[in-house]
Amino acid sequence: MTKTLVLSLFAIACTLVVTAQPQSTDLTFTDDLVIPVLPVEDQGSTGTCWSFSTASFLEAEVKKMGGVAIDLSEMFFVRKIYVDKAEKYLRWHGKANFSEGSLGHDVVRMLKVHGALPEQVYAGLLDGRERHNHAVLVRELKKFLDDMIRSGRIANDWKDRFASILDKHLGPLPSTFSYEGESYNAKTFAETHFPFVLNDFVNLTSFQQYPYWRSIVLEIPDNYAHESYWNVPIDTLLQITIDAIEAGHSVVWDCDVSEKGFLQQEGLAIIGDNSGMQLTGNQDEIASIAGHRQTSFASYDLTDDHLMHIIGIARDQGENPYFYVKNSWGLYSGRSGYLYVSLPYFMKNTIGIMLNKDAITPNIVANMQDQHH
């Protein structure tokens, strides 16, 4: 990317000047910056986008650090989080969330606590299956937990019995394994190949119901671990995301995909038909966007639907910028598994992001620290 283009994108991010855009069917794109990632995968008939997007993010972060991007087992993290959720579900007597959904920070936590496995060691597919489907698995896990809760007695061996259900559907976990001639367990593999510190990564969101520039617990069902997010203005959230991509750091993106402008087969996420969408960037407009987001969030119109991996910046023939995003719905979805997301769509439909804290510029970090104290 040329210096001129970087400055141009920076100006667009700061002022949010977006010209009238072509109709969606007329769009052609130029990729200006794309962070290298491993091939698109397919989450199948599961609600595990959070594991696929975050595994892809971790793979890219290792490469950014100078390491080798190793294809991680998404199902290892899924399995560990099912157990983690089950413990909380029982502790809360069934009054907590037990479903397929989770968030990116849960994967990071599992990586630190339990380690990781390569995909070639633990794919989570048995009996020659090539596509994930967890409908029966989730039903059996939840029934097992609910039956125990109704009985009024939690069996001492419940974890072993819970694990046997996971073994039946995903396969047993290896205690040790060989990878490129070396012997590992999950912990030593992660320590060797993914040497992240838990607080290397930070969550950010933007909602008016919380004070800006404060660490808050985002109240969405999939935040079952009650993890914290920095709440920042929506234009700052956009700026942070563009700054990160330009610095070579990708971003885990949690968003609403129920909008009619989310065009899966076209590989596009835009506002309406993308025609005549103009943002002037003045404070009244930013306040209007923030107010709309808050109203939509409070009324359940803006919901935590799907997590994807933002890996680049592109522009259409009208020079309007887009994020280039890796999905986990297989190669036949969108543009060979990828899509282009307009900045207006991002601003309107983002729930939160997760990224390496080193990707946040010092002036924004200073604002967080000043306000925190």
The Cα–Cα gap between 52 and 72 comes to: 9
Cα–Cα distance for residue pair 135/282, rounded to 1 Å: 47
Exposure string of 46-77, with b = 16+ CB inside 10 Å and e = fewer, is: bbbbbbbbbbbbbbbbbbbeeeebbebbbbbb
The enclosing domain of 230 has a CATH number of: 3.90.70.10
Question: pLDDT (tens digit, 0 to 9) for every residue of the chain, 373 residues total?
Answer: 443 344 344 444 444 444 455 566 689 999 999 999 999 999 999 999 999 999 999 999 999 999 988 999 999 999 999 999 999 999 999 999 999 999 999 999 999 999 999 999 999 999 999 999 999 999 999 999 999 999 999 999 999 999 999 999 999 999 999 999 999 999 999 999 998 877 899 999 999 999 999 999 999 999 999 999 999 999 999 999 999 999 999 999 999 999 999 999 999 999 975 544 555 567 778 888 999 999 999 999 999 999 999 999 999 999 999 999 999 999 999 999 999 999 999 999 999 999 999 999 999 998 887 665 4
Q: Are strands 350-356 and 306-316 parallel, antiparallel or unpaired?
A: unpaired
Q: CA-CA distance, 143 to 268, in Å (whole number)? A: 38
Helix, strand or coil, per DSSP, at residue 263: strand
Which residues neighbour 61 within 8 Å (Cβ) at sequence distance 6 or greater? 196, 249, 250, 356
Per DSSP, the three-state class of 268 is strand
Q: Are 151 and 103 in contact (CB under 8 A)?
A: no
| Residue 341 pLDDT | 98
At residue 10, the pLDDT reads: 41
Distance separating alpha carbons of residues 106 and 124, to the nearest angstrom:
19
Q: Give me the domain span that covers residue 148.
A: 3-372
Domain total of the chain: 1
H/E stretch holding 29 reads strand 29-34
